[in-house]
Structure 1
Amino acid sequence: MDVPDTVAFLAASPERLRLLTHLREQSGSPRDVTDATDVSHRSVQRNLSEFANRGWVEKHDGVYELTTSGELVAQTHADYVDTLGTISAYDPFYRYLPDGDHAPDPAWLADATLVTASPDQPQAPVSQYVKRLRARQTETVRMLAPVLSRLYHDAHAELVLSGVDTELIMSPERIETARASNPLEFRLVSRAIDIYEHDGNVEFGLTLGDDWAFAGAYDDDGQLRALLECDEREFLNWAEALYREYRDRSSSIR
């Protein structure tokens, strides 16, 4: 199989995915496939012939059915198209991530919730974060934060006062800015929660509860552009591992 040629062939017409998807569900004659897919009879015949030349279908008594190779091609192509669709849908989140290491697999996001900033609602992700944080139950909170904002202060203070153990990882620059702007308040906060200084920049937001996680994508001005909330186990495992990487490169300010 010539891979570049196969990729180009499948990408050249959305009808080919439609036909392969149908044949995965039900074998049929060209007329059967035409009636079921609303693809022209001429196109069906031409594509079935091409599928046969590529070894993806076999013809028995006028009925076409996928070979094992055809099944695998059909599934792989469908997954590829679905993945591109997910990346497109979550582009407002992905585009503001610092690099691919901070990008969760699109396959984990089927049931995720995404809230993005817009010109008429620039604080929508922040409002969503505060609302969902107050709605979640947890005994621990661990945060990776590019900025320290009063917009989040009250919600996190409520959790701390209710006994929720809280960790916060920030860059040295952000910690010093917060300390210098209000030394007394910073001293009180640092006594209430465990603050860690990361050995380097922090350009990504992450908040982990006991069994949930929020991921935040920030622009160059430190504005939260998109908030992702996901309970998928693989997403949570990824978030845990990413947080540990930052934590291992951080030290307590106490």
Structure 2
Amino acid sequence: MGYDRGKQLFSSPHRLALLRELRSQPADTQSLTDALSISRVTVQRHLNRCSKLGWIRKVDGRYELTPVGKHACEAATAFLDRLSVLGEYEDIVHTLAAVDDSFDPLLLADATISVAEPSNPHEPIIHYRNTVTEAATDSIRGILPVFSELLTEVHRDLLKSEVETELVVTQSVLEAAPPDATDIPSDSFGLYVIDEPLEFGLTLFDETAVVGTYDEGTFVSCIESTDPAFREWVVAVYEGYRERASRVPLEVTADPDCVVQSGSDSAE
């Protein structure tokens, strides 16, 4: 039944366009003809078919969607939007679905996305740096899968301003870049280490969520969104990883230029 209804809806691109027009407001045949830029005969044929399917009805000389028609229009629109996102961002969806198999590609629909291209391989990191630099936030939570001097640099001013910061890092990041006490106030910084390989990173600001995908340690895409549903998904992912991570106690030594990881032999 569902497949048959789908064939009826997608048998002509004008049929869904007609439903979308009526989703905004009721309209008569002439208004629909003008809006869709097709012949009046074609419009009337689609109206008759949609009426038989129970998707529209005529009230006081104008057509309007029925409740079933509204759901059919919304379902078809969401379906096409998902296909569009999958077509444009297939690699990103593949990575994020590996992080959480419940990931909905539609969460990317309203996001700002930068992807590394041969002509501009640094676009994602530039995007991320600008986002952090312009952020107005009281707290930051993040997952850092690889050590990068640039990523450390862009957070330094926020850390110096004592923005409350919490990071989950891999063991390799912890070993490559022990935190520096001069730049990181220990009372506003929490560090967690997780023993899992990661092909993504994320940063949560007060209102914005940013996700980065990696390919063999190279930052290949940056996804930024203020959409509450996207941020909610990122929060859930972050909290899941933090729960599996171990807190790294930090102790500031008498030397103001170094910090010791408690239980570790390394210090810088």
Quickly name the TM-score band, shorter chain normalised: 0.7 to 0.9
Q: Does 1:245 pair with 2:244?
A: no
Q: State the secondary structure of the residue aligned to 2:54.
A: coil
Counterpart CA distance in 2 for 1:76 and 1:127 is 37
- Tell which has more relative contact order, 1 or 2 (C-alpha 8 A, sep 6+): 1
Letter in 1 for 2:178: F
1:235 aligns with 2:235: no
CA distance in 1, matches of 2:117, 2:92: 13
Q: How does 1:18-37 map to 2 (within 5 A)?
A: 18-24=17-23, 25-29=25-29, 33-37=32-36
Task: Tell me the SS of whatever aligns to 1:246.
Answer: helix
Following the alignment from structure 1 to structure 2, what is the Cα–Cα distance between the partners of residues 137 and 252?
27
The 1-side partners of 2:2 and 2:83 are apart by 19
Which residue among 167, 183, 186 is the counterpart of 2:178?
Answer: 186
Query: Which string of whole-angstrom CA distances, capped at 9 and with x for unpartnered residues, describes residues 138-186 of structure 1?
Result: 332221012111121222222222222322212234434x1xxxxxx62
Cross-structure match for 1:182: none
Match of 2:219 among 210, 218, 224: 224
Change (3 A) 1:126 1:63: closer
| 1:152 aligned counterpart, secondary structure | helix
Q: Distance in 2 between matches of 1:187 and 1:52?
A: 67
Superposition CA RMSD, Å: 3.1
**For the structure 1 residues 23 and 213, does the alpha-carbon distance in structure 2 shift closer, same or farther, using more than 3 Å as the test?**
closer
Per mean C-alpha deviation after superposition, the further-off stretch among 39-48 and 162-171 is 39-48
Instruction: Write the letter of the residue equivalent to 2:55.
Output: W
Deviation at 1:5, TM superposition (A): 0.7
Matches within 5 A, 1:40-189: 40-58=39-57, 64-88=63-87, 90-91=89-90, 93-97=92-96, 99=98, 101=100, 105=104, 107-109=106-108, 111-176=110-175, 178=176, 186=178, 188=180
Q: Percent identity?
A: 34
Q: Compared with structure 1, are the counterparts of its residues 190 and 248 closer, same or farther at alpha carbon in structure 2 (3 Å cutoff)?
A: farther
Measured in 2, the distance between the counterparts of 1:203 and 1:68 equals 43
- Residues 48 and 206 (structure 1 numbering): CA distance in 2 closer, same or farther, change over 3 Å? same
Tell me if the contact between 2:167 and 2:192 (Cα under 8 Å) persists in the aligned partners. Answer: yes
> Do 1:92 and 1:116's aligned partners in 2 also have CA atoms closer than 8 Å?
no
Aligned residue number for residue 207 of structure 1: 203
Contact 1:140–1:164 (8 Å) recurs in 2: yes
Mapped contact 2:170–2:196 kept (Cα < 8 A): yes
Which amino acid in 2 is paired with 1:19?
L
Return closer, same or farther for 1:58/1:21 CA change in 2, 3 Å cut-off: same
Deviation at 1:45, TM superposition (A): 3.5
Under a length normalisation based on structure 1, what TM-score does the superposition of the two structures give?
A: 0.80
* Aligned residues of 1:98 and 1:204 also touching (Cα < 8 A): no
Q: How many residues in Structure 1 have an aligned counterpart in Structure 2?
A: 244
**Per-residue deviation at 1:71?**
2.9
Post-superposition shift, 1:252? 1.9
1:33·1:44 contact (CA, 8 Å) conserved in 2? Answer: yes
Going from structure 1 to structure 2, the CA distance change for 1:93 and 1:190 (only over 3 Å counts) comes to farther
Q: Given residue 188 of structure 1, which amino acid in structure 2 is its aligned partner?
A: D
Matched, 1:198 2:194: yes
What is the TM-score when the length of structure 2 is the normalising length? 0.76
**Farther-moved stretch of structure 1 (225-234 vs 186-195):** 186-195
SS in 2 for 1:26: coil
Provide Cα deviations, 1:34-71, integer angstroms capped at 9, x if missing partner: 34322234433332232232122345797654333223
Q: Give the superposition deviation at 1:104.
A: 5.7
Query: Aligned letter for 2:26?
Result: Q
